[in-house]
Structure 1
Amino acid sequence: MIEVDLPEDEAVPELTRSFAACVASVTETPITEVPQPRADLPGAISHWRGWLAGRGAGLVTLAQPSSFNWPGYWLAVLGAPGPNATADDATAVLMFGTPAGVVLSPQNPTLLGRAAAELPVREGYVLSGLDPAFIAPTSPPLQLRGTVVEIALAEQATGAMRTVDHARALANRGLESDRYAAKAGTFTPASETSRGYDLTLIEAEVIDSLMLPEGRCIGYAEARRNIVTRGIDLNALVGRRFQVGTVECLGQRLCEPCSHLERLTTKGTLRELIHRGGLRVDVLSDGELKIGDVVQTID
């Protein structure tokens, strides 16, 4: 996403301008290139659907927006539902994360970071590509290498993270004494076949670079990931086998931020960590991890 302010053309309804800004942000398109029809939101959405189709994308209406949940971006219209609802009572925002939170609010910036569950979501839309075919990389993968700079555990789902010098990794479970190894994490799945919940990693460089409101910062452990690394691109480990010390792991997917993390840390964390929140990992072998261990690809 990119930062987009509310356009100033008052001939266009404010709700339409705000929604256009959200579309521009999520598609990373200059706002001057996104149509801003002088129409109410339903008319504008019809216009944008044609514009997006020419770019290989679509705007899908959510049947139950108030309970919608997925780990990507989506657009929401906030406001009291009902036959007497008007555009003057509505606000368009961009949501992200599971659970979702507001990451862009051109009409009302005070909504940034608010959880979707706390807000009156009246309408919802997902912007999606028309062809979901996955294109695999054709170039050979790079060999990557970094180091462990911190290890953190929490025994309970929302409990404080405590740092340790070493920890024991358990295959298909996680780190001993951590809530996910005990199947007690906030996002621990009900199904034993779900993958990517054993271990989480995040880059120290990302935490060091966070630009939070009023100069706030968070410590490495406050990011609520188990292992903090330095010198390795964790996003590049999705789908790859690698070792942390002698422990073999498989990168499953990005560990995207959510409104739950923002609630446990500080305002702005959700937005700052989009696509930089680290990596969700399966642990494939038992072993000991310690600070200073090498993190390196093995495939």
Structure 2
Amino acid sequence: MSTKPSLAVVERLYLADAMGAPLQARLRLSLCAGQGIVGDRHAGRRDWPGQNLTLVEAEEIENYCLSRSRPIDLALTRRNIVTRGVRLNSLVGRRFRIGDCLLYGIERCEPCRNLGQRLADETFDVPAVIHYWTGRGGLRADVLSDGAIRAGDKLEIVDTSGGLA
């Protein structure tokens, strides 16, 4: 009896057109090589590696929300792409494809003080939030080719070398 490998897919897509602006859920994002998401607040910026695009696992958001007795909100971390069925930490140093786009995993997207402040409450302070999300915050990626990503697209690893566990 064989088991089917789990399918890695895009669950949700988001962008924000300005710093601090509300996230906009999208069914499709247009990406430009070396620039990021067309219309996103980080498009064309190079303040840090992997600024083009951020990804996070739906499972991590769901686990957090359940552990804190919060309603599940896949926009919670303000990442651009919410995936299901893939350990994003394993994509650091690897090329992968979503939709028409070739991407490269730059580094883990570790939590920042902004995330800590957004999620903190009277029983879970900023340092506790940051500690919880360390190693679970997702992935920063560079966009290597122009194209589009749609909700429901598969995530396929192109480069099987490298990566972090």
TM-score range, shorter chain: 0.7 to 0.9
Asked if 1:282 is matched to 2:142, the reply is: yes
Inter-CA distance 258–161: structure 2 relative to 1 (3 Å threshold): same
Contact 1:212 1:272 in 2 (8 A): no
CA distance in 1, matches of 2:51, 2:107: 10
- The DSSP-based 3-state class of the residue aligned with 1:177 is coil
Give the aligned partner of residue 94 of structure 1.
none
- Give the secondary-structure state (helix, strand or coil) at the position aligned to 2:76: helix
How far has the Cα of 1:277 moved from its partner? Answer: 0.3
Contact 2:34–2:44, Cα closer than 8 Å, also in 1 = no
Match of 1:296 in 2: 156
CA contact (8 A) 1:169 1:288 kept: yes
Gaps of 5+ in 1: 1-142
Equivalent residue in structure 2 for 1:171, among 8, 16, 33: 33
Equivalent position of 1:152 in the other structure: 14
Q: Which residue in the other structure is 1:225 paired with?
A: 79
Give the alignment's TM-score, normalised by structure 1: 0.47
Q: CA deviation at 1:287?
A: 0.1
How do residues 20-99 of structure 1 correspond to structure 2 at under 5 angstroms? none
Give the aligned partner of residue 137 of structure 1. none
Deviation at 1:157, TM superposition (A): 1.5
The change in CA–CA distance for 1:182 and 1:213 in structure 2 (over 3 A counts) is same
Cα distance in structure 2, aligned partners of 1:221 and 1:263: 15
Q: 1:197 is matched with which residue?
A: 51
CA contact (8 A) 1:252 1:280 kept: yes
* Greater RCO structure (CA 8 Å; 6+ sep): 2
With normalisation by structure 2, the TM-score equals 0.82
Name the % identity: 38
Judged with a 3 Å threshold, the aligned counterparts in structure 2 of structure 1 residues 157 and 218 are, in CA distance, closer, same or farther, namely: farther
Q: Which has the larger radius of gyration?
A: 1
Once residues 278 and 229 of structure 1 are traced to their aligned partners in structure 2, the CA distance between those partners, rounded to angstroms, is 10
Q: Is 259-268 or 228-237 further displaced after alignment?
A: 259-268
CA gap of 1:259–1:170, structure 2 versus 1, over 3 A, is: same
Question: What is the aligned length?
Answer: 149
RMSD: 2.1
Matching residue's letter, 1:174: G
- The CA deviation at 1:246 is 1.8
Q: Which runs of 4+ in 1 moved over 4 A?
A: 211-214
Higher helix share: 1
Q: Secondary structure at the match of 2:8?
A: strand
CA contact (8 A) 1:199 1:226 kept: yes
**C-alpha spacing 1:220/1:214, structure 2 compared with 1 (3 Å):** closer
Match of 2:131 in 1: 271
> 1:86 maps to what in 2?
none
Structure 2: unaligned runs, 5 residues or longer: 160-165
Task: Name the CA shift for 1:296/1:144 in 2 (closer, same or farther; >3 Å).
Answer: farther
